[in-house]
């Protein structure tokens, strides 16, 4: 149901509620240049499971547009006023991009109001002040429509425009039609916000989610954010950019629901299987799955959850580097079957023959020439002689 909340100083916030039973509410906070419609597909998937409240930030959508600039604390105060208006005591808070910064500030300012935190494609500090000053200047000089294509190239994975042309154009129109004063006001919030020295104080379960192809807040920054928060876990979504609720709503909703239910095992397995397939290939994984029995099925699940859904999904280290580390250790330990499998998988991770050669030289120095010699032979067998 769409409604308007009249808050202090004449501010009006536009919000929607979708109720299902008496579950703890989930608050959704959208990104810069979008509005609460960002969450439409996710809401449709989650509504049977929880109470959902989403709203337009000040300066966006159908909410009021106070004079710019705004601060992250202004937005956090708006959310607290909405809590009070709706007579909410506690909720799970989920924010994407600037919404994630707002969610973190709100949880720091009002820890008793937040039971869990979901931080999607965000960071404690997003880009530099110079970046946001340049964005503000470009918007003032040229308008949002003129720069919308450049911004969408940072939002979405490269294939998005071809795979989902209607969604791509729809979000371009949403961005270009935003109120310029409101957009600039939120840009100022991003320019001035820096929570890097504060997020370690968060004392609640936190789920950090990031698209693997995010150019705005990349997986490395997501990994650092997760590492700086005591009770957090990180999930990367393959083949996805800055807005997973738009590009991959089903995957995003699945992992979000798993976190809400405390089902880390389910979420880890699903994400682990996606990573396992993207790296080792469907043929290999299908063969392994077809050949598992009651004797080893739990072990196969363990490998998928722990190795792929946890370690490989951590971010921080990019995928090619993590793959080179894996190959170096397998070569040093003489694990030839696993080494051959991972050498074949380099076709999926972007590891080059030149990089492999350097790694094998490193193996020769620190693990012995025979180990490196065998690694060279396997690489020739799996990658060169088969071409």
Residue range 253-269: average pLDDT? Answer: 71
Averaged pLDDT of the chain: 90
pLDDT tens readout for residues 135-192:
999 999 999 999 999 999 999 988 888 888 998 999 999 999 999 999 999 999 999 9
Judgement on whether residues 155 and 245 belong to the same structural domain of the protein: yes
Judgement on whether residues 137 and 271 belong to the same structural domain of the protein: no
Classify residue 203: in a domain, yes or no: yes
Per-residue pLDDT, 266: 43
Classify residue 20: in a domain, yes or no: yes
Classify residue 312: in a domain, yes or no: no
Q: Which of 20-24, 47-51, 247-251, 381-385 has the highest mean pLDDT?
A: 247-251
Judgement on whether residues 235 and 328 belong to the same structural domain of the protein: no
Four-point Cα dihedral 279, 256, 92, 307, nearest 10: -40
Classify residue 209: in a domain, yes or no: yes
In whole angstroms, give the CA distance from residue 234 to residue 313.
Answer: 7
Q: Residue 353 belongs to a domain with what CATH number? A: 1.20.1290.10
Judgement on whether residues 174 and 202 belong to the same structural domain of the protein: yes
- Nearest CA to 90 out of 16, 26, 179 is that of 26
Judgement on whether residues 208 and 335 belong to the same structural domain of the protein: no
Judgement on whether residues 62 and 152 belong to the same structural domain of the protein: yes
Judgement on whether residues 240 and 279 belong to the same structural domain of the protein: no
Judgement on whether residues 256 and 287 belong to the same structural domain of the protein: no
Classify residue 87: in a domain, yes or no: yes
pLDDT tens readout for residues 274-288:
778 878 988 888 898
Per-residue pLDDT, 9: 82
Classify residue 311: in a domain, yes or no: no
Q: Residue 210 belongs to a domain with what CATH number? A: 3.40.50.1820
Per-residue pLDDT, 96: 98
Query: The domain containing residue 138 runs over which residues?
Result: 2-262
Judgement on whether residues 243 and 268 belong to the same structural domain of the protein: no
Classify residue 271: in a domain, yes or no: yes
Confidence of residue 21 (pLDDT cuts 50, 70, 90): low
Judgement on whether residues 27 and 93 belong to the same structural domain of the protein: yes
**Domain termination site, one of 280, 306, 332:** 306
Domain count across the chain:
3
Per-residue pLDDT, 318: 74
Judgement on whether residues 244 and 368 belong to the same structural domain of the protein: no
Which H, E and C letters describe the chain, residue by residue?
CEEEEECHHHCEEEEEEECCCCCCCEEEECCCCCCHHHHHHHHHHHCCCCCEEEECCCCCCCCCCCCCCCCHHHHHHHHHHHHHHHCCCCEEEEEECHHHHHHHHHHHHCHHHEEEEEEECCCCCCCCHHHHHHHHHHHHHHCHHHHHHHHHHHHCCCCHHHHCHHHHHHHHHHHHCCCHHHHHHHHHHHHHCCCCCCHHHCCCCEEEEEECCCCCCCHHHHHHHHHHCCCEEEEEECCCCCCHHHHCHHHHHHHHHHHHCCCHHHHHHHHHHHHHHHHHCHHHHHHHHHHCCCCCHHHHHHHHHHHHHHHCCCCCCCHHHHHHHHHHHHHHHCCHHHHHHHHHHHHHHCCCHHHHHHHHHHHHHHHCHHHHHHHHHHHHHHHHCCC
Classify residue 294: in a domain, yes or no: yes
Confidence of residue 236 (pLDDT cuts 50, 70, 90): confident
Residue range 327-354: average pLDDT? Answer: 93
Judgement on whether residues 240 and 360 belong to the same structural domain of the protein: no
């Amino acid at each position: 149901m769409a409604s308007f909340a009249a808050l202090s100083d004449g501010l009006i916030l536009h919000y929607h509620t979708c109720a299902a039973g008496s579950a703890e509410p989930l608050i959704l906070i959208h990104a810069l240049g979008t509005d609460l419609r960002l969450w439409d597909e996710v809401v449709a998937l989650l509504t049977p499971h929880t109470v959902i409240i989403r709203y337009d930030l000040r300066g966006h959508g159908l909410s009021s547009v106070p004079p710019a600039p705004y601060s992250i604390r202004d937005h956090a105060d708006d959310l607290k006023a909405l809590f009070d208006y709706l007579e909410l005591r506690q909720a799970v808070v989920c924010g994407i991009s600037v919404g994630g910064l707002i969610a973190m500030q709100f949880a720091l300012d009002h820890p008793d109001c937040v039971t869990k935190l979901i931080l999607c494609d965000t960071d404690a500090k997003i880009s530099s002040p110079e970046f946001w000053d340049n964005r503000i200047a470009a918007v003032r000089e040229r308008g949002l429509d003129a720069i919308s294509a450049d911004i969408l190239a940072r939002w979405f994975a490269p294939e998005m425009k071809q795979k989902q042309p209607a969604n791509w154009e729809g979000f371009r129109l949403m961005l270009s039609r935003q109120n310029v004063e409101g957009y600039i006001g939120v840009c100022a919030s991003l320019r001035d916000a820096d929570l890097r020295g504060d997020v370690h104080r968060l004392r609640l379960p936190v789920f950090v989610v990031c698209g693997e192809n995010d150019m705005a807040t990349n997986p490395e920054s997501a990994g650092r954010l997760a590492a700086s928060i005591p009770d957090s876990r990180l999930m990367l979504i393959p083949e996805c950019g800055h807005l997973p609720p738009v590009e991959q709503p089903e995957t995003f909703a699945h992992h979000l629901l798993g976190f809400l239910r405390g089902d880390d095992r389910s979420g880890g397995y699903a994400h682990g299987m996606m990573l396992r397939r993207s790296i080792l290939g469907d043929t290999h994984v299908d063969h392994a799955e077809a050949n598992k029995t009651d004797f080893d099925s739990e072990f196969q699940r363990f490998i998928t959850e722990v190795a792929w859904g946890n370690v490989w999904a951590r971010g921080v280290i990019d995928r090619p580097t993590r793959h080179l580390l894996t190959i170096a250790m397998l070569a040093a330990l003489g694990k030839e079957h696993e080494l051959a499998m991972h050498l074949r998988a380099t076709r999926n991770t972007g590891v080059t023959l030149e990089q492999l050669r350097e790694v094998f030289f490193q193996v020769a120095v620190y693990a012995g020439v025979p180990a490196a010699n065998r690694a060279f032979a396997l690489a020739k067998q799996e990658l060169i002689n088969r071409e």
